[in-house]
Amino acid sequence: MARATDRHPSVLRSLDWWTIGIYVALLVFGWISVCGASYTYGETDIFGLDTRSGMQIVWIGTSLVLGFVLLMMDDRYYDTFAYVVYALFLLLLFVTIFNPHEIKGSRSWLVLGPLRLQPAEFAKFATALAVAKLMSTYGFNIFKFKHLAAAVGVVALPMLFIVGQRETGSALVYLSFFLMFYREGMPGSVLFTGVAMVLYFVIGIKYEQVLLWDTPTSVGKFVVLLLVQLFTSGMVYAYCREPGKALRLAGGSVGVTLLMLLFSEFVIPFDVVWVQLMVSAALIGYLVFQGLSTRLYSYMLIALFAVGSIAFFYSADYVLNDVMEPHQRVRINVLLGLDEDLAGAGYNVHQSEIAIGSGGLRGKGFLNGTQTKLKFVPEQDTDFIFCTVGEEEGFVGSAGVLLLFLLLILRLIHLAERQPFKFGRVYGYCVLSIFLFHVFINVGMVLGLTPVIGIPLPFFSYGGSSLWGFTILLFIFLRIDAGRNLVRS
């Protein structure tokens, strides 16, 4: 146990004040943005509790108190009670599914009189604690399938409950934990598979109806199947150490495909995709044969990758058109450029882009933004608050905010890497992964680069739940880091 006489002073001396300074700066700029986004012409009191800017001061004040309380707690509590906190929030998430209060189509909010809380925002820190506790257990090995599956299960369970609340955006945030898994030794092939799936989906859906030259061949299907063959051949080179064999597989697949494409173009038009499927089947069969004959596990995994890639691609269209909700489908179509819909699903992004573009280099000045003051951008003080930064502070202010977030991420990486115990390092990487995901998706969403999934910008978006949730995430890690050199007795 830490010595009682010097516990608190030691904690305060060991705190990373650089990170706290960045946190306070983000809070200040966040309040200025909320004030600019919620201000209405003619208002005389931006500090009143009947205004969004006034209430945000309350959330900021309570967050600072909450952060101080977390710093004064013994850091070992977070390790000891990690599973208990996780179980409590799982129960809360499950109960929230049956919540009778529905807000904007979501059942993710608990309404307690005038107070509204979103358990999904707090479940992030609970999940981070639980997965850090699990992965720091003696004997845990991420290369063992059952251990990796257990860690993924800890992350997936709250995800499923949040999806049950019809809050898909918050559920997707939990995918950020895979960045931490990768840092802790998860095979790079898993991360590569995820990137490949995104490529298959985007290319396949976007160019499915485009025909290649004068043939009845879909450009989307042609390119995706060609990528599957090339990726599969590349994995033979990377994981089986067979460069000659990989080159022959890639050359044979591409050669047959191009030969049949020329035949379809100049002799008899036909859908070359059928030839590609046969070539892929032959490639998979060859890999299975090699795996059985050489007893190399890698060949079988590569064959499984190829089968999974093709299955995923052909199921993507079904998922988009028959599984996703109509508003989700429209948002993806707008993002991919298949639909414009400036008056519907694309309205938010279009107005946001206008607001940011109108800010120019230096912006229009505090409270002088016209797009935001005239309320052209829906959710402009929550999910789309970055457009207020762009309009009022311009490119310079937007770059400054992004630089602050970059400094925060870099600082968190530094803190995570200096942890003496695995629990602290894993939790630290969970925290920075969540922050990175939120910033990347939220800013990309406002700029029209990522789908609109409705997640807040840390420390900027209006609301107590998100601000408290991010504060808890950060300050638990700061407390763990501050305790790394405390004298125990």
Same domain, 252 and 179: no
In degrees, rounded to 5, the angle at the alpha carbon of residue 467 between the alpha carbons of residues 464 and 472 is 115
Query: Using N-to-C axis directions, what is the helix angle for 243-266 and 219-240, rounded to 10°?
Result: 170
In degrees, rounded to 5, the angle at the alpha carbon of residue 408 between the alpha carbons of residues 356 and 472 is 105
pLDDT category at 105 given cuts 50, 70, 90 is low
Average pLDDT, the chain: 87
Lowest mean pLDDT among 34-48, 135-149, 252-266, 451-465: 34-48
Same domain, 233 and 159: no
- pLDDT higher than 90, residue 406: yes
**CB hemisphere CA count around 27 (13 angstroms):** 21
Q: Is residue 20 part of a domain?
A: yes
pLDDT category at 397 given cuts 50, 70, 90 is very high
- Distance, in Å, from the CA atom of 181 to the CA atom of 430, rounded to the nearest integer, reads 9
Cα dihedral sign for 339, 341, 344, 347? Answer: positive
- What is the DSSP annotation of 118-156? -HHHHHHHHHHHHHHHHHTSTT--TTSHHHHHHHHHHHH
Is 33 exposed, middle or buried (CB count within 10 Å of its CB: 0-12, 13-18, 19+)?
Answer: buried
- State residue 318 phi and psi, 5-degree precision: -65, -45
Q: State the average pLDDT over residues 465-484.
A: 94
Q: State the average pLDDT over residues 266-282.
A: 94
In degrees, rounded to 5, the angle at the alpha carbon of residue 143 between the alpha carbons of residues 139 and 144 is 65
- pLDDT higher than 50, residue 234: yes
Same domain, 320 and 410: no
Domain around 453? 11-190+330-426+441-483
Comparing 212 with 114, the larger pLDDT belongs to 212
Same domain, 123 and 186: yes
- Distance, in Å, from the CA atom of 360 to the CA atom of 392, rounded to the nearest integer, reads 9
- pLDDT higher than 80, residue 331: no
Lowest mean pLDDT among 72-81, 116-125, 341-350: 341-350
pLDDT category at 84 given cuts 50, 70, 90 is very high
- State residue 106 phi and psi, 5-degree precision: -115, 145
Same domain, 300 and 381: no
Same domain, 216 and 173: no
Residue 435: name the closest of 415, 457, 417 by CA: 457
Q: Is residue 186 part of a domain?
A: yes
Q: Is residue 183 part of a domain?
A: yes
Cβ atoms of 460 and 32 closer than 8 Å: no
Residue 362: name the closest of 405, 308, 398 by CA: 398
- Amino acid identity of 421? F
Question: What is the pLDDT, as a whole number, of residue 115?
Answer: 72
Please give the DSSP secondary-structure letter assigned to residue 367.
T
**pLDDT tens-place string over residues 123-178:** 999 999 999 999 999 999 998 889 999 999 999 999 999 988 888 888 889 999 99
Q: Of 324, 347, 374, which residue sits at a domain end?
A: 324
In degrees, rounded to 5, the angle at the alpha carbon of residue 33 between the alpha carbons of residues 349 and 42 is 100
Cβ atoms of 284 and 267 closer than 8 Å: no
Please give the DSSP secondary-structure letter assigned to residue 448.
T
Q: Is residue 435 part of a domain?
A: no
- Amino acid identity of 84? V
Comparing 401 with 6, the larger pLDDT belongs to 401
Q: Is residue 57 part of a domain?
A: yes
Both structure tokens of 138: 């003696």
Same domain, 280 and 317: yes
- Residue 247 bridge partners (DSSP): none
pTM recorded for the entire structure: 0.84
Q: State the average pLDDT over residues 79-107.
A: 86
- State residue 385 phi and psi, 5-degree precision: -70, -20
Domain tally, the chain: 2
Is 198 exposed, middle or buried (CB count within 10 Å of its CB: 0-12, 13-18, 19+)?
Answer: exposed
- pLDDT higher than 70, residue 9: no
Q: Of 280, 301, 324, which residue sits at a domain end?
A: 324
Question: What is the pLDDT, as a whole number, of residue 345?
Answer: 54
Q: Is residue 274 part of a domain?
A: yes
Q: State the average pLDDT over residues 412-427.
A: 95
Same domain, 51 and 172: yes
Question: What is the pLDDT, as a whole number, of residue 6?
Answer: 44
- pLDDT higher than 70, residue 343: no
Same domain, 312 and 368: no
Comparing 280 with 169, the larger pLDDT belongs to 280
Q: Is residue 137 part of a domain?
A: yes
Q: Of 293, 324, 355, which residue sits at a domain end?
A: 324
Lowest mean pLDDT among 89-93, 203-207, 266-270, 394-398: 203-207
Query: Percent of the chain scored above 70 by pLDDT?
Result: 91
Same domain, 305 and 345: no
- Distance, in Å, from the CA atom of 82 to the CA atom of 333, rounded to the nearest integer, reads 41
Q: Is residue 101 part of a domain?
A: yes
Same domain, 290 and 171: no
Same domain, 149 and 290: no
